[in-house]
Amino acid sequence: MLYREALNKALDEVMAIDDTVVTLGEDVGLYGGSFRVTEGLVEKYGEERVIDTPIAELSIVGNAVGMAIGGLRPVAEIMTGNFSLLAFDQIINHMAKLHYMSNGKVILPMVVRFPQGVSKQLAAQHSESYEQMLCSVPGLRVLSVCDVNYAYHALKYAILSNDPFVFIEHELLYNKKGEVNFEEQLDPFKARIVKEGEDITIVSYLKMVDDVMKSVPAIESALNCSCEVIDLCSLNPIDYETLATSIKKTSRLVMVEEDHKTGGFGSQVVAWAAEEIFYALDAPPLRLAGADVSIPYNRTLELASIPTPDSIAQDIIVWGKKNDV
- Which residues have a catalytic role annotated? 57, 126
- What is the 3 state secondary structure string of 206-265? CHHHHHHHHHHHHHHHHHCCCEEEEECCEEECCCHHHHHHHHHHHCCEEEEEEEECCCCC
Among 90, 191, 73, which residue's Cα sits nearest to residue 134?
90
**DSSP strand pairing (234-236 vs 141-144):** antiparallel
State how far the Cα of 15 lies from the Cα of 10, in Å rounded to an integer.
9
CA Rg value for the chain:
20
State how far the Cα of 216 lies from the Cα of 179, in Å rounded to an integer.
22
Give the E-state strand segments of the chain in sequence order. Answer: 21-25, 50-52, 73-77, 111-116, 141-144, 165-170, 192-195, 200-204, 227-231, 234-236, 253-260, 286-290
What single-letter amino acid sits at 148? V
State how far the Cα of 133 lies from the Cα of 5, in Å rounded to an integer.
29
The vertex-117 CA angle with 15 and 50, nearest 5°, equals: 20
Could you tell me which residues are beta bridge partners of residue 192?
A: 231
Classify residue 91 by its DSSP letter.
I
State how far the Cα of 162 lies from the Cα of 219, in Å rounded to an integer.
43
Reported as half-sphere exposure (CB side, CA atoms, 13 A), residue 94 has a value of 18
State how far the Cα of 232 lies from the Cα of 147, in Å rounded to an integer.
11
